[in-house]
Amino acid sequence: MKFQGTCGEVEVTQKALKKIVYYSLTELSDKLSVSARNWLQKVLNIFSSEESNLVINDDSGVTIDLYVAVGYGINIPETFAVVKDKIIESFKKHFAIENVDVNMHVTELK
């Protein structure tokens, strides 16, 4: 993703954007964690918890598909609101990106 900074053009890699999402989630670690998208990824352990399970696209904004494991007894809609606000706040603070869409997919309970 590229945007115009005060001193020229700034490019932020997908890996950096994914790290922001991961670090936002670690602050809420008591409620949820990053999860594999499907059972095969989980069995083969072919995903990295720091930089997987989200899709970032669009030049004008960011769309995140977040796959998570939620703790038993957690109110999912309430948790989603907290997660969404935290991720949007992080993108505004670190990258000045305003157009952020977050979709959360609960793949398992822990």
Q: What is the pLDDT of residue 47?
A: 44
Q: What is the pLDDT of residue 50?
A: 46
Q: What is the pLDDT of residue 85?
A: 92
Mean pLDDT, the chain cut into blocks of 10 residues (110 residues total): 78 81 76 56 46 56 80 85 90 84 83
84: containing domain: 13-109
Q: What is the pLDDT of residue 43?
A: 45
Question: CATH code at 97?
Answer: 3.30.70
| C-alpha distances in Å from residue 24, one per residue of 18, 19, 20, 28, 65 | 10, 8, 6, 7, 14
Q: What is the pLDDT of residue 22?
A: 80
Q: What is the pLDDT of residue 58?
A: 56
Q: What is the pLDDT of residue 30?
A: 65
* Within-domain flag for 5: no
Backbone angles phi, psi at 80, to 5 degrees: -60, -40
| C-alpha distances in Å from residue 3, one per residue of 57, 90, 105 | 14, 17, 29
Q: What is the pLDDT of residue 23?
A: 82
* Within-domain flag for 52: yes
* Within-domain flag for 6: no
Q: What is the pLDDT of residue 35?
A: 59
* Within-domain flag for 7: no
Structure tokens given for 8 = 């020229």
* Within-domain flag for 27: yes
* Within-domain flag for 54: yes
Q: What is the pLDDT of residue 89?
A: 93
* Within-domain flag for 89: yes
Give the predicted TM-score (pTM) of the model.
Answer: 0.72
Structure tokens given for 80 = 């989603």
Structure tokens given for 69 = 């494991």
Q: Backbone dihedral region of 8: left (phi > 0), alpha (psi from -120 to 50 degrees) or beta? A: left
Q: State how many domains the chain has.
A: 1
Q: 48-83 as b/e, with b when 16 or more CB fall inside 10 Å?
A: eeebbbbebeeeeebebebbbebeeeeeeeebbeeb
